[in-house]
Chain A
Amino acid sequence: GAGVSQSPSNKVTEKGKDVELRCDPISGHTALYWYRQSLGQGLEFLIYFQGNSAPDKSGLPSDRFSAERTGGSVSTLTIQRTQQEDSAVYLCASSLGPGPRGYGYTFGSGTRLTVV
């Protein structure tokens, strides 16, 4: 597609429920990233995919968070047993190669997650 597409754009869930957030990167982009943006804060790195592999998962806050990528394209971020502190905007980005240097690191519009 023309840009990075994320769905849903908004998600309200009850504490303790599981949620799945989806990211469709720009076609042909081999690298994909998830970031989290809490209210009024900068972006916090969560995970990096190169193809279907995740060489860096160091930003995932707890074992309740997991992510996968299939077919070198779509990625899903799953949060199990959601807590109120998980409320944030989850942003996905993709790039043609690893990182932003000349590879066009493009962000989607994010999924706003609210845990009530």
Chain B
Amino acid sequence: GESVGLHLPTLSVQEGDNSIINCAYSNSASDYFIWYKQESGKGPQFIIDIRSNMDKRQGQRVTVLLNKTVKHLSLQIAATQPGDSAVYFCAEIGSSNDYKLSFGAGTTVTVRA
């Protein structure tokens, strides 16, 4: 499943397929980005981060891509599992302050068995 280029509020993906979640950020001065996963009734949980001097970073089953030219961030999840069903948020932080995260609208990912 993929939300190609645009931010879509929902994404349905078949178990075992790869997922791509997109996010457009607003502040060209932002230099640090985080992807969070939020399950129902829980707070956001850190997945992976990336600094603006990088364009790609990989974690366990996840990859974040950063395109500063078009202010776009994406999260790729490999071999999506039922436990990946959640709301995913991107967050940015700028050089003007070090503590205030600005969050995107979120994408709800549903994994079909």
Contacts and interface: CB of A to CB of B under 8 A. Distances in A.
B43 interface: yes
Interface string A70-102: 000000000000000000000101010011110
23 contacts: A41-B105, A41-B106, A42-B89, A42-B104, A42-B106, A43-B44, A43-B91, A43-B101, A43-B103, A45-B100, A45-B101, A45-B102, A48-B99, A56-B99, A98-B99, A99-B98, A99-B99, A100-B34, A100-B49, A100-B93, A109-B42, A109-B43, A110-B43
A111 to B, nearest CB: 11
Contacts, number: 60
Nearest to B31: A101
Interface of B: 32, 34, 41-46, 49, 89, 91, 93, 97-106
Give the bracket for the number of chain A residues in contact with chain B: 20 to 34
Interface centre among B44, B45, B91, by most chain A C-beta atoms within 10 angstroms, is B44
A99 B98 CA distance: 5
Contacts of A4: 43
Contacts of A101: 32, 93, 98
Q: Which 10 A-B pairs have the closest CB atoms?
A: A107-B43, A42-B103, A99-B98, A99-B99, A43-B103, A98-B99, A107-B44, A109-B43, A98-B98, A45-B100
Interface centre among A43, A109, A110, by most chain B C-beta atoms within 10 angstroms, is A43
